[in-house]
Structure 1
Amino acid sequence: MEEEDTLRSLMFLMTYLLMKRRRDINNANIQRRNEIQRRIRHRQYFFQRQRRMLMMMIAGGIRSNIRIRTRPWTNTPSTDWWERVVMTEFQPSDWLDKFRMSRETFFYLCDKLRPRLARQDTSFRLALPVEKRVAVALWRLASNIEYRTISSLFGVGKSTVCRCVRDMCHAIVALLRPVYLRSPDDQELEDSAELFLSQWGFPHCVAAVTTLHTAIITPSANASDYANCDGWLSVLSQVVVNGRGQFWDVCASFPGGTDPADILQNSTLWATASEGGLSPDPPPIFMGQPLRYVLLGEACYPLQSWLMKAFPEEKRGKTVTEPLRVFNRRLRRALHVAEEALLRLRARWQCLSKRNDCGLDVVPTMILACCILHNVCESHGDVFKAEWQEEVAEAESPQPSHKQFLSPSTDQTQAEEVRRLYCDYFEQQD
């Protein structure tokens, strides 16, 4: 009886092992057949794709030959327009009008961006030259026209235009930002302070802080956050302008409804200036005592010992004295350097003055790239045409004004002493 039970259990075990082995073999065969069929479909797909591309290339060559032979008076092909008209026949004024920079600056920019923008030719397509990629992107930044129009003009696809704009903006931020958008050294601080004193009549000042609103299309999420104080949708940027009208620092990508004071207090500029990073050590002398250089700001910013803003014009039961009015006039006059810099920026790169239809993942990088290009053009001495400002004046999105910051600052007493020191200086000058 025990032998029968042992034999029965052994037979059951052998049957189970045989069935499991057969199932494993069947699964392996099914997987092998599926993999073979997948490879066949993959190879057929690429063969068909290659065949279609070859047929399209042959058909395109036939159509272009027929068009050139039968109608030689038609419009110049786009590739010929770029290679012959732009590269050989464009005059200096044409380069300024179309690309907002001189020919020399254009090729300088191409050389600097070549490590990031150069592409290799493939078996089916020739890569766009770096010069053409930069020209496509600059045309978009300068005019803000549709991708379809630029596509027809340069003879490339709309997706290629979008990719050129995106790639060039990222390349500018990666390669040129350390050179053209950086913190100043001691000599640059001193030069900027001299410019503020000689041109704007405000001493011991090295820069002005202001805001820039860039109109955007309605985002897919949190659209109400992007509505600014004037009611239209925008991306808000904080910019710092030196005495030459060039940008030292730019913080982009904030919704238009953000308070400028919050942006400032959470920026690296706040930490750097609070620690004395925007002034040499030891501080220069002003009115007989050592004082760090100051920045100028609008009424929406908090008063700090290193950030001067105007006195409130209306006080409850108090009359604003003449020294305070003089200080306000001098400060507003010096703030014109930031207003003019933003006007030149938006006039040169109209993607910032008209409504920008790019996605929110591209707009901040585009703003940074335009600010860097502004510094490149200004440092190279490229001509700025007055008629560009007329186009900005006709733009559909004028810059809104922010409400005044009323909360007391952390160093209110020291800040008031510095501001009174300036009042004494202007009173002595008068």
Structure 2
Amino acid sequence: MEEEELLRSLMFLMTYMLMKRRRDINNANVQRRNEIQRRIRHRQYFFQRQRRMLMMMIAGGIRSNVRIRTRPWTTTPSTDWWERVVMTEFQPSDWLDKFRMSRETFFYLCDKLRPRLARQDTSFRLALPVEKRVAVALWRLASNIEYRTISTLFGVGKSTVCRCVRDMCHAIVALLSSIYLRPPSEQELEDSAQLFLSHWGFPHCVAAIATLHTAIITPSNNASDYANPAGWLSVLSQVAVSGRGQFWDVCASFPGGTDPADILQNSSLWATAAEGGLSPEPPPIFMGKPLRYVLLGEACYPLQSWLMKVYPEEKGRRASHAALTEPQRLFNRQLTRALRVPEEALLRLRARWQCLSKRNDCGLDVVPTMILACCILHNMCESHGDAFKAEWQVEVAESESPQPDHKQLLSTTMDQSHAEEVRHLFCDYFEEQNN
């Protein structure tokens, strides 16, 4: 009896092992057939792709040898719009309208960015020329139109447009910051002070600080931090503008709800100006006393010996300060007038590069670099004397949301102790000039 049980168990075990072996063999055969079919499909796709690329190259060679009559841009195929229309038929006004700079400045920019933007051809694809990569990116910065439209216009993929914009902005910041966004020299400080005095009537001033809000799409994290005082989402930037309307310092990438005073105190501009880096040694003479050059700022900034802001206006009987004197009112009027320098510079910046005036749908990792790149391009165009069209400014003023107003800083805890003495010197100066 025991032998029969043992034999039955042994037969059951052998039957199980045989069935398992047969199942494993069947599974292996199925996997082998699937792998063979996958390789066949991959090889067919590879050969079809090679055949399509070969046909495109042949067709491109045929089109390049065929003489095509001149047609309007709207009916020109995207495959030759760049090579034929832009490079051969664009007039100076066309370069200015489409790329916001002259033809000479455009090719100067291409030469400067070539070390970072040049790509090598591969066996399957011809690399885009540097000039076309720059043109694609500039078109995006100047118009802020969607990638799909630019893709159709230039005959490239949407991902290529995105990559061109990202690569060019990073290349501009890396290669051109040292030329067009750098601390000023002593001669530039003196020239800027002369411009503030001659054009705006404010003496001993070399720059003005202002803020710029750039509208963005809703971020995935901490969206409430990006709500600015006007209620819409933005990235906040701090800029220092010289008397020529060019940017000397740009501090970008802060959420729109950040206090501008906090940005200033944590910026390199604060450390540089506090240490006298924006004034020559020895300090120039003002009202019979040696005094470092000053900067002008909005009412949301703290009063410093190197940063002047207006006296707080009286707000009724409960105001904690006395009524302003006539010299103080005169000081406020002159300072407010001089603050038009950064206001006009930022308006020209947003008008020339409309990606900063409309809602920017790029990621938050790209927007700060894009802002810096636009400021550098602004300085480059201004330095090269490229024309600025008034209709750009009118278009932006009509379409964009107004820039938010920041609250006036009434607390004196952040003010420097002897800054009031410096501000009083300017009051005495304006009183003398008025008399």
Shift of 1:266: 0.4
- Taking the TM superposition and a 5 Å limit, the aligned residue runs for 1:386-425 are 386-410=390-414, 412-425=416-429
TM-score scaled by length of structure 1:
0.86
Report deviation, 1:53.
1.7
> 1:265 aligns to what?
265
State the SS of the aligned residue for 1:210. Answer: strand
Q: Which residue identity is paired with 1:292?
A: R
Q: Deviations over 1:30-69 (max 9, x none)?
A: xxxxxx99x9999878745532321332565799889x99
State the partner residue of 1:203. Answer: 203
Q: Does 1:354 align with 2:337?
A: no
TM-superposed deviation, 1:396 = 3.4
Per-residue deviation, 1:411: 5.3
Q: Which moved more, 1:171-180 or 1:389-398?
A: 389-398
Assess, with a 3 A threshold, how the Cα gap between structure 1 residues 63 and 185 changes in structure 2: closer, same or farther.
closer
Q: Structure 2 vs 1, CA of residues 331 and 58 (structure 1 numbering), >3 Å: closer, same or farther?
A: same
Provide the secondary structure at the position in 2 that maps to 1:55. Answer: helix
SS across alignment from 1:368: helix
2:374 corresponds to 1:370: yes
Deviation at 1:79, TM superposition (A): 2.6
Q: Which residue of 1 aligns with 2:130?
A: 130
CA shift in 2, pair 1:170/1:40, >3 Å: farther
Q: Distance in 2 between matches of 1:393 and 1:402?
A: 20
CA contact (8 A) 1:303 1:409 kept: no
Note the alpha carbon deviations across 1:167-198, whole angstroms, 9 max, x for none.
Answer: 00000000000110010111111111111001
Counterpart residue type for residue 113 of structure 1: L
| Contact persistence 1:238–1:252 (CA under 8 A) | yes
Q: Which amino acid aligns with 1:323?
A: P
Question: How much has 1:397 moved relative to structure 2?
Answer: 2.0
**C-alpha distance in 1 between matches for 2:146 and 2:82:** 18
What amino acid does structure 1 have at the position aligned with 2:351? Answer: A
Q: Root-mean-square deviation (CA), in Å?
A: 2.6
Alpha carbons of structure 1 residues 371 and 45: separation in structure 2 relative to 1, 3 Å: farther
* Residue number in structure 2 paired with 1:213: 213
Counterpart-to-counterpart distance in 1, 2:97 and 2:48: 41
CA distance, structure 1, for counterparts of residue 116 and residue 91 of structure 2? 28
Give the distance between the partners of 2:272 and 2:117, measured in 1 at CA: 34
Match 1:51 to one of 47, 50, 53: 47
For residues 57 and 269 of structure 2, the distance between their equivalents in structure 1, rounded to whole angstroms, comes to 57
Structure 2: segments with no counterpart, 5+ residues: 1-31
- Provide the secondary structure at the position in 2 that maps to 1:235: strand
Partner of 2:177: 177
Give 1:337's match in structure 2, choosing from 322, 338, 341: 341
TM-score after normalising by structure 2: 0.85
How far does residue 148 in structure 1 lie from its aligned partner after superposition? 0.2
Contact 1:136/1:164 (CA < 8 Å) preserved in 2? yes
Q: In structure 2, how many angstroms separate the alpha carbons of the residues matched to 1:41 and 1:407?
A: 75
Which one is further off, 76-85 or 135-144? 76-85
Quick one: distance in 1 between partners of 2:417 and 2:165? 49
Residues 201, 125 of structure 1: alpha-carbon distance in 2 compared, 3 angstrom cutoff: same
C-alpha deviation, 1:143, in angstroms = 0.2
Q: Structure 1 184/45 Cα, relative in aligned 2: closer, same or farther at 3 Å?
A: farther
Deviation track 1:86-132 (CA, whole Å, cap 9, x = no partner) reads: 00100000000000000000000000000000000000111000000
Alignment of 1:48-197 (within 5 A): 48=44, 50-58=46-54, 60=56, 75-197=75-197
Q: Matches of 1:340 and 1:49 in 2, distance apart?
A: 56
Does the Cα contact within 8 Å between 1:304 and 1:409 map onto a contact in 2? no
1:297: which partner in 2? Answer: 297
Q: C-alpha displacement at 1:248, in angstroms?
A: 0.2
Paired amino acid for 2:425: L
Q: Which runs of 5+ in 1 are unaligned?
A: 1-35
Distance across 2 between alignment mates of 1:184 and 1:398: 31
Instruction: List, as ranges, runs of 4+ consecutive aligned residues in structure 1 with deviation greater than 6 Å.
Output: 39-46, 61-66, 71-74
Contact 1:353 1:392 in 2 (8 A): yes
User: Aligned AA for 1:227?
Assistant: A
The residue aligned with 2:327 is 323
> CA separation in 2, counterparts of 1:162 and 1:42?
32
Shift of 1:395: 2.2
Partner Cα distance (2:348, 2:390) in 1:
9
Q: Is this contact kept in 1: 2:142–2:355, CA < 8 A?
A: yes
- Could you say what secondary structure the match of 1:176 adopts? helix
Count of aligned pairs: 393
